[in-house]
Chain A
Amino acid sequence: QSALTQPRSVSGSPGQSVTISCAGSSNDVGAYNYVSWYQQYPGKAPKLIIYEVIERPSGVPSRFSGSKSGNTASLAISGLQADDEADYYCSSYAGTYTGVFGTGTRVTVL
């Protein structure tokens, strides 16, 4: 159960696009289409923004999109806005009723 690997930080100017990678293994990200992404503001509980690799919950803007290739999943944020500045975590089902989170990425809007 090693944590999924994410970049520590990414940044972009308002209106630009950023992508966050989430590197796992053939036992988690590569094995299941159960990858999800969460947005967390300081002092707040995480919020689900992507599930099952590409699906968005109701109310989440289409600026957020997910994808997966092999053992690596990605979250793309287009049209970056000031309130996108937060921590983002990926998560994957890892078999036998277990799960794993990514190391987390701080998104900074310049």
Chain B
Amino acid sequence: EVQLVASGGGLVQPGRSLRLSCAASTFNFDGYAMHWVRQAPGRGLEWVSSISWNNGGIGYADSVKGRFTISRDNAKNSLYLQMSSLRPEDTALYYCAKDMNGIQTNAFDIWGQGTMVTVSS
């Protein structure tokens, strides 16, 4: 079964950093673009960041630009999101999601279970 497992969430103070990971299994990870999408409690989905199959194309939402960094290690079938200068409004369930294509088309066909990030003092 094609699977994405996100981890690394937790409770963190404002201004601190956190690194999320997403482990992929049973699909050709290095052939697809990957994304992070978040959902604040009781709110809608928000696209956060994406990375193409070969790291050649990276994009960020304006709300996280300059604070978050997306990366991937195709040898380890893993996607990462380094989050710094965290704010209370970054509190959300963070999903990793697979694109149907190698470049970003924002068609997310596989989703992880999500990892919760809570930013609070």
Known interface pairs A96-B59, A98-B61; A36-B107 also in contact (CB < 8 Å): yes
CA distance A93 to B95 in the complex (A): 18
Q: Is the CB of A91 within 8 A of B44?
A: no
CA distance A34 to B101 in the complex (A): 11
Chain B: interface residue total (CB-CB under 8 A):
28
Q: Mark A70-106, 1 if CB is under 8 A from B, else 0.
A: 0000000000000000010101110011111111100
In the complex, whether A1 has a CB less than 8 A from a CB of chain B is: yes
Q: Is the CB of B61 within 8 A of A45?
A: no
In the complex, whether A14 has a CB less than 8 A from a CB of chain B is: no
Known interface pairs A1-B62, A91-B108, A92-B106; A101-B57 also in contact (CB < 8 Å): no
In the complex, whether A3 has a CB less than 8 A from a CB of chain B is: yes
Q: Is the interface of A mostly helix, strand, loop or mixed?
A: strand
In the complex, whether B32 has a CB less than 8 A from a CB of chain A is: no
Known interface pairs A97-B57, A97-B58, A99-B35; A36-B108 also in contact (CB < 8 Å): yes
Q: Is the CB of A104 within 8 A of B44?
A: yes
Within 8 A of B (CB), among A44-63: 45-48, 51-52, 57
Which residues of chain A have a CB within 8 Å of any CB of chain B?
Answer: 1, 3, 34, 36, 38, 40, 45-48, 51-52, 57, 87, 89, 91-93, 96-104
Which residues of chain B have a CB within 8 Å of any CB of chain A?
Answer: 35, 37, 44-47, 50-52, 57-63, 95, 100, 104-109, 111-114
Which 8 A-B residue pairings sit nearest by Cβ, starting from the closest? A97-B59, A51-B107, A45-B111, A99-B106, A104-B44, A98-B59, A99-B47, A97-B57
